[in-house]
Amino acid sequence: MAYNREDKMDSMDQGDDKDSRRSPSFHRKKGCRFCLDREFVMDYKDVRMMQSFISEHGKITPRRISGNCADHQRKLTSAVKRARNLALVGYVSSGHFGH
Ligand SMILES: [Zn+2]
């Protein structure tokens, strides 16, 4: 009686796009930018650089996305915090950087 369930599986064969799930990279740069490029210095005063690691909501880009190594990610985090203290980078977008 409970066999009927298996039959239903057949109608699922249109779901073969499992592979298309992993979309081609978008922001998927492998490797830490700071490690790869020695010229790329972490500087909390460099607002533009900092903003490339901060979402529009003022959140720090997770390592998974930024591709930073643990060491630099940690440094980045503290740099961002320092920058926030100096109000160079807002918690929430405000003033010049926001909309
Ligand atoms: Zn690194």
Rounded Cα distance between 50 and 44, Å, is: 7
Distance 55 CA to ligand 1 centre (A): 20
Distance 73 CA to ligand 1 centre (A): 7
- Residue 98 forms part of a structural domain: yes
Helix (H, G, I), strand (E, B) or coil at 83: helix
CATH of residue 91: 4.10.640.10
- Residue 65 forms part of a structural domain: yes
Please give the residue range of the domain that contains residue 88: 40-99
- Residue 8 forms part of a structural domain: no
Q: Residue 86's pLDDT is what? A: 81
Outline where the chain has alpha helix (H): 4-9, 33-36, 47-51, 63-66, 70-85
**Please, which residues bridge with residue 60 across strands?**
54
Mean of pLDDT over the chain: 75
Could you report the per-residue pLDDT of 6-65, keeping only the tens digit for each?
A: 555 555 555 555 555 555 544 455 689 999 988 888 898 888 888 899 988 889 999 999
> Domain tally for the chain?
1
Biggest CA–CA distance in the chain, Å, is 70
Distance 31 CA to ligand 1 centre (A): 8
- Residue 15 forms part of a structural domain: no
- Residue 19 forms part of a structural domain: no
- Residue 22 forms part of a structural domain: no
